[in-house]
Each structure stands twice: as structure tokens, then as C-alpha cells.
Amino acid sequence: MDQRPQSLVVIGASAGGIKALLDLVEGLPADLEAAILVVVHIGSSRSVLPQILTRTGALKATAAEDGEPLHAGRIYVAPPDYHLLVQDGHIALSHGPKENHTRPAIDPLFRSAARAYGPRAIAVILSGALRDGTSGMLMVKARGGIAMVQDPADAVIDSMPASALSIVGADYVLPAREIGGVLAELVAGRTSRKAASMANEQDDDARAIISEDFKEQREDRRAGRMTMFTCPDCGGTLWQLDDGARLRYQCHVGHAWGPEMLLGQKSEELEAALWASVRLLKERATLTHQIAARMRETGQSSSRAEALDEEAHVDEQRADAIKNLLNTPLGVAPTIAAQADTDAAED
């Protein structure tokens, strides 16, 4: 006999989301006929969130364990550094690729809930930055589930709920303190809902799309949507997966990125590359000066030593120009760059 809970609630939170999660859990009744799965962006850090949630509300919360069956009236929290999924009425933990530069991530949980529970899934997005959860919530909606978001005005960081609200559209937009009560009412009086169109389920098809693109590449026939971008986590090429207002990138390993998170990582890569250039220019200038000094000490060509010193001086100027760019607000950077070009021309 199938003992799975009739409804599944999946909750995602990030920056500023702990307080909202506590407010939500406080409003849940002890007899809730649904299992609750929670992902908070904790990375690989040790978490005491299950103990805190247990003390806060009427439901017992535990760190999710791979393979354990789901039970109604229980809260399962994603453990550090593992994606939390649901499969065949059981918990599944995955150390798979990070999504939006985090593991655990919200999107994998939401996608698995949509597949496993369809119209009996309820997805909730609380306070957090950027867009994690939006893509997964879109899939929950596509399969007939319910989408709830914390009112952006009530969130400490409104980016995640605002993104879900604008791209997916929510069935309920509520302050965190009111969400628990509404969840209880939905679970208690749930009626069958017709599944929505599956046209937005590109997440489900991403692996198949990428596999086919690899096959086409091997067979010298390409009709895919490979981009010019590379994955910040592994360096692999990224595929673009978009549908209307939604835009996402994924590499063949499985790392997935929303556009803002990818832009942020590219900015970090650029800054790291520029600082590495400063270091290399300074190192080369120092080594060039040293070689010139040794040439003078040993009576070698003084003209060659002077030429080396000039080369070192140019490297030092280049390093200083890059440092100025890095240390200056973006709106001022072009002026400095132009000045650096002028100085180089005058030299």
C-alpha cells in the first residue's frame, strides 16, 4: 500500500530567509497531512537548522537522509553540500553539480517535486538574492502545482520572491507569518487540479538536449544552442535554455546558472584575471630590472641594460593602469583607460 503523503510542500530560502522560514513553520499545525522539504543556501557549512525548526513549531524537523521514506507532518532539511530531491516517495540526496553556484540549491528540489507530485506539489519561495527557485517553480506550475512566494515587501532580500513573481506568477503572495496557515488550509482542502501545459519543461529535457548536441558534434552536424560562454565551475561550454522570460545556462556536466549569477561569476573571473595580470606585470618588471642590474655589475652592454629597464618601466605603467581601473568605480574607468592610452602614447 502506498504510504506516501498526499501532498508535498517544498520551500526554498536564501539570504534573509531563516527568519521567514521560522515564521512560516510557527504557523503549521501538528496534524499537517503533508511532508515538507526545505532547502536553505547553507553551502557546506554545518547546520543546526533542524533543531531550531523543531523548537519553533509543532512539527519535528530533521536533516534529510538518503533513502528515507517521506512521512506527513515531518520537515526534512537539506544537509550541507547535498542537493535534496524526492523520488518515489523517498528522500534522495545528490552531490551533483552546483546550480547557481550553490549546493544545496532550490531548483533541483522543486523540479523533483514537480515530477514526483505534479498537481499535489506546493512550492514556496522565501527571502533570497538572485533567481534560484524561479526555474523550478515554473516547472511546478507547469505540472499543475501551486506556487507561493513571500511578499517581496515582507522579505529581507526581495530578489528571489520578486523574480518568481514576475517570471512564474504566484497563486499566493503573502507575508511569511501568514504562509503556514494558508499551507495548512490548502493541504486540508486540496482538490484535484488539471495539469498546466508542459511547454515550459526545458529543465526536464536539458540533459537530453545536451546529449543530442554532443552526438551532433561528433557526427559533424550541429543544430544546437551552444553559447560562447564557459562554465565558471568547470570551464565547459554552456548551453542556453530559455523560454519566454526565463533564461538559464547549463554545461554538459550539469552546472546550471541564472543570468544574474552567471554575470556575477564572470565579473569575478574578470577581476581575478586582471589582478593576475597586475601580478605578472610586476613580477616581469622586477625580473627585468634584476637582469639589467646584473648586466651592469658584470660589465655587459649598458645600452642593453637601459633597454631592459625601459621595458620594465612600461610593464610597471601597465600594471599601475590596471590597478587604477580595478580601484575605480565603473563609471570612471573609461576616463582612466583613455588617460592610460594617452600616457603610453606620450612615452
Q: Say which of 7, 23, 41, 127 is annotated catalytic.
A: 41
Cell of 338: 583613455
- Order of all β-strands in the sheet with 172-174: 60-63, 74-77, 34-40, 7-13, 121-125, 146-150, 172-174
Q: Say which of 14, 112, 127, 135 is annotated catalytic.
A: 14
| Buried b or exposed e, range 240-254, using 16+ CB within 10 angstroms | ebebeebbbbbbbeb
Q: Does 41 participate in catalysis according to the annotation?
A: yes
HSE of 169 in the Cβ direction (CA atoms, 13 Å)?
4
Nearest to 119 by CA among 155, 101, 144, 136: 144
* DSSP, residue by residue, 131-183: TTTHHHHHHHHHTT-EEEEE-GGG-SS-HHHHHHHHHT--SEEE-HHHHHHHH
CA–CA distance, 176 with 153 (Å, rounded to integer): 11
Task: Provide CB contacts within 8 A for 204, sequence distance 6+.
Answer: 111, 115, 139
Size (the chain), residues: 347
Beta bridge partners of 86: 91
Q: Say which of 23, 107, 132, 158 is annotated catalytic.
A: 132
Residues annotated as catalytic are: 14, 41, 132
